[in-house]
Amino acid sequence: ETGVTQTPRHLVMGMTNKKSLKCEQHLGHNAMYWYKQSAKKPLELMFVYNFKEQTENNSVPSRFSPECPNSSHLFLHLHTLQPEDSALYLCASSQVSGNQPQHFGDGTRLSIL
Amino acid sequence: GQQVMQIPQYQHVQEGEDFTTYCNSSTTLSNIQWYKQRPGGHPVFLIQLVKSGEVKKQKRLTFQFGEAKKNSSLHITATQTTDVGTYFCAGPGTSYDKVIFGPGTSLSVIP
């Protein structure tokens, strides 16, 4: 139990589908993150939310749309994805954004057909 | 842009041997964090170093932050099969909210 829960754990979708990834943290943190982890590539930061406000968009394509309704929940809405978007998507949280240790969820393994 | 590099990319050791991974940043870091990701798992925070020349130990793991605060190392003494995984260093990015992860060193331990 990491305190950060991601659903679903696995997702297979076609390029024209719309789906959403969900992340919930039970740690009382105020910052949440989305990362993409592809095989043989470094962990890539996608988005940062601090006190529900998006403070970082790391040049992510618009087919990925984040949503943070409150400090405990984070969503990643997916639409018209490409095969190269297949990866492990990790959510993390920290007390506040910046130099704080991050707690990661187990991730969603996404496969695009 | 800012880069965090790690070497080696892969390391295979016999159980009981020592292991070291090195992390280098293109810029001075205010702090460095280390994470471990087991195969099939998620990154888990290990430690944060803040002071120049700082050395911290966790059982068989020794973490060091360079004097210039541009490099760091993780040394494992007498590796065990439970040490298998990928070790990442991470430093603050150019903007306050960003953390830049290194590419990781993947450790395999042969029993």
Contacts of A43 in chain B (CB under 8 A): 43, 88, 101, 104
**Phi, psi (5° rounding) for residue B84?**
-60, 135
In the predicted model, is pLDDT for residue B96 greater than 80? no
**β-pair partners for A20:** A77
B91 to chain A, minimum CA–CA distance in Å? 8
Residues in chain A, pLDDT under 50 = none
DSSP state at residue B102: P
Residues in chain B, how many? 111
- Counting residues of chain B whose pLDDT is more than 90, the rounded percentage is 86
What is the pLDDT, as a whole number, of residue B102? 93
